[in-house]
Structure formats: C-alpha cells, structure tokens
Structure 1
C-alpha cells in the first residue's frame, strides 16, 4: 500500500511501542546453576530500525538516518540505527538528485520479511527542509493513539502442558498469582468477552548434556482467536527441572506477565476500536 505525500498517514497500532529496558532475568544469581542463562522474553512490541539512506554518500546517508531516529525517539517511538528485534520494522530511504537541485528521498517502511507497510516521498533543498523532513517522517510513523481502554481485561489461566515433574502445576499457579497482582481481572474460567492464557512447555536434552527449555504463553479471546504469544527459552543443567520447578516457577511467571498483560490490553483496544468504528467500516 502506498500513501501520497499529502495524506497525514499514521501507522496503526502495530507501532504501539514501549521503551527499551533490560531483558528480565527470572533466575536470581543465587539460584545455583540455574542462573547461568536468562530466559529471553520475546518482544511484544515493535521498534523501528532506520537504515542509512542510499543514493547519497555514506556519511550523509548515515547522518540522515541518525537524525530520523532521533526525531522518532522524540515522538516516543522506539528507534535506532543498529539494534533490532524479531518484530522490528525497517525504515529505508532512497535518495536521488532532481533537476532543480533538490534531493528527493523515498521512504519505505517494511517488516523483516520485506512486506511493505507504507511509503512516502519528501523533497529536500536545505538543511532546514531536511530537519522538517525527518520530523515529518517521525509524525508519519508515530503510533496512532489507541482508544482508551476502560474495561479491565478478564483472563483465566488454563492448565500448562508439557513440563516434567511439578512444572505444569507450579507454572500455572505462579502465573495466576502474577496476573492477580496485575491490572487485570483474574477469573476461574473463561467468561464472555474474556481471555485465556495457555502455557506449553518443551524440555529437550541437548548433546552437551544440558536441557533446552522453551515455554510458550498463548493468549486467546473468548472466541478462540489467538491474540499473541509470549515465549521464553533457556539452557539449564540436564535434569535440574525433572522433578521440582519450585525455584524458578515464580520468576518465570513474573518475567512473562508484562508481555501477557500487554497482549490483553491490545485485545481490549482492538475491540474498543471496532465498537467505535462507523457502521460502514464494520461491515
């Protein structure tokens, strides 16, 4: 989809970005060997990686990318010129010199698989216009403000499957406790307009003798539609979780709950937007 320059286009709620912080480490360092590697939480939000502009000299291309990233940051958009995550969007620019001497930059926002989210073109003839262009690109990409969510998300925790020992029971109880402290309403079972969280665990012995542990927390709505998944993974000493998960269940749940709550709020925001949309748009 291509949007013209005159249209003030906003990228939808996919760009509802959160600030970058340290990756949670659910194992405290005094947890014996289980602290050797942190569980990594899959980002539940996207960031924008600004690539050097092509068609100009390398120094200028990097300078424009840096200016654009800073403009995005001022708009509360997580952006940078180097680091990315699996959900990152990539902003690339292709510059060319026009006959009137101005430089024309075509900006393309795309996902990592090459899917184009949007395009726009700016003409730049001065440093002042360059600053205006980067600010305009930032405004173009800035997240659309989601409708205020007045409804507290309701969620039930379904049984966890796949963990050895007491893992299924302890992980479910730990997540329920973490959600009970979160800004959601914990329910005993699925209710109308509510959600469920289903946990799945895989523990596989590796050639080096360690166990590769993967956990998937899947959030679904009352109709069974999958809203999203928060996944965690780690390498732990072989057999260390065969019987007891008591030392790690709560830290794992606490590390995952932020992403789960974000998915619940996202679901409520989508429902609110659909309810507030004009009738023709809902048809």
Structure 2
C-alpha cells in the first residue's frame, strides 16, 4: 500500500526567486568554504548516579537527538572540544518517580546554572530501564543541552522534548477502573444512606504499545540524512509510539531514502521515500514525497526542514501501522 504526501512547502520554495528560511543559500555553507563537520563537537558522558547500562543508553540517545540541532555529538570518552556530563537524582512523586539530571559543560564554573531536566516515570519503567523512558529523557534534554553548548534551537518546536525544553512532561497513568468504580459506589451509598454492594467491575484492557525502529536515512545531501532521521523519531515519538534502538520480534521498522535528481543547473527533483516493515521484515507499505526544489537549497542545512518533511510523512506511517496492527491474522 502506498501513501503519497505532497511537500507544499518545497513547492513554494521552488517557485520563489529567492529561497527563504532554512533553505536560504549561504556561501559559508559550501563545502569548500567550511571545515569538515563530521568530527564530534560534543561528547556526552553517562550521568553519574545512574545505573551504568541506563546511563550509556541515555547518553547515546541524547547524542542522536542532538543531531537535529546541527550538533555532531557522540558518547564519551571521545575527542571533542565540548564535554558534557550530568548528575542524576530521583525522588518519589505520587505514584511515579521523578528522575532529575543536571547537565553541565565540563570545565565551566560550578556557579553556572546547569541544564536541569526532570522526567516522571512509572516505577516499573525505571526499574526495567524501558525504551519509552530513555527516549523521553533524551527528547526532553536535547534542546536544553543544545542551548547549554551554545546552539539553541532556532526552528519551530514539534516534539514533546522541544516544546518542554526540559520541563517535566506529565506522565500519563491509566486510570484504575476498579478503584474508580469503588469510589463512585461509596459516594452513592453515602448520599442515600445505603450499604454499597460489591460487584465486579470490568477492567479496561491495557493499551497496546507499538514499537518502531527508525533506520538511518540514506541519500540526502548535506545534513539531510540525520535531520530526517531525527525528525521521524520525534514525529512518531510524539504520537505515543515507543521509539527503540534495536530490532525485535515485536518491532516495526521505518526505512527512509532520499533521491535528488538535477532537472537543470538550478532545480532538481527531490524524492523522499519511507518504507514501513513489519517485525518479520515484510513490507507493509510506503510513503513517497516528491517535488522540484532549488539545488542550492537542498544542499544547504536541513535543520527545521527535516522536521517538516518527517512530520508530514509520519501521518502516513501511522496509518500504515494502524492497518498492519488491525489486519486479520
């Protein structure tokens, strides 16, 4: 099954004589005029006081999220001009655990305010070091850490982490139908002066968690691959999809590929194709985005624009996921 998604923003850009916004051509971005950007700029250390394996995963996921802000990040130890470390602390918060990480740039005065990020989690998610929790912590920390290292976000926020900028995103706890029913019965009994009778209350089935692995995007010029990759992770993550970093027997996979074909010396045809595969590796369907674009624009930075493209395509991916899950076995 194929979904076609039109990139209206690309069409508008292609029709303009002067390319605006994030696609504006800047000579300083030309390869011959700028230093190589594949060297790590920031190294992220696993937060202290955090379980070692969890700390490594948080650092690695945060490094990936920072790519969307134009920051080439990696996990420490690594040779990078900026080293970032963190300290974790936890506290009870009603029925959840509040996980706080104070991120700092190594070497800066201790009087400087840290980038403090708080995340609420279920006790079982923290105990299991779940993918949902790791992804949420990294998404929340990314914009704060980007600002900490001198590269604050300069485009419209579209993901929970960007919107919250490190402020706690309320964790959604499902209501307990049995407890709700007992409370309602007790209130009714108190109002009428009768003794409540105990009756079985139907329980609501647990909401199914859909796990998706976003594979590295290929074929895009400049920083397009990592911007589209990060954009798709955030777009699906903001739709209550659990983003994971490895394949599994219950994990769907989204594969993105870009093809830019020159039409003339100024314009090219940009095609972005996303393929959804089920846990067995069978193709469920694909989404294709296609439009003419200025070549100079496509060869510039995709920061912000990658989010727009991925967000548009994610709607089709969600439709394919729904159909795959609901189709007869």
Q: TM-score, normalised by structure 1?
A: 0.44
Structure (1/2) with the larger helix percentage: 2
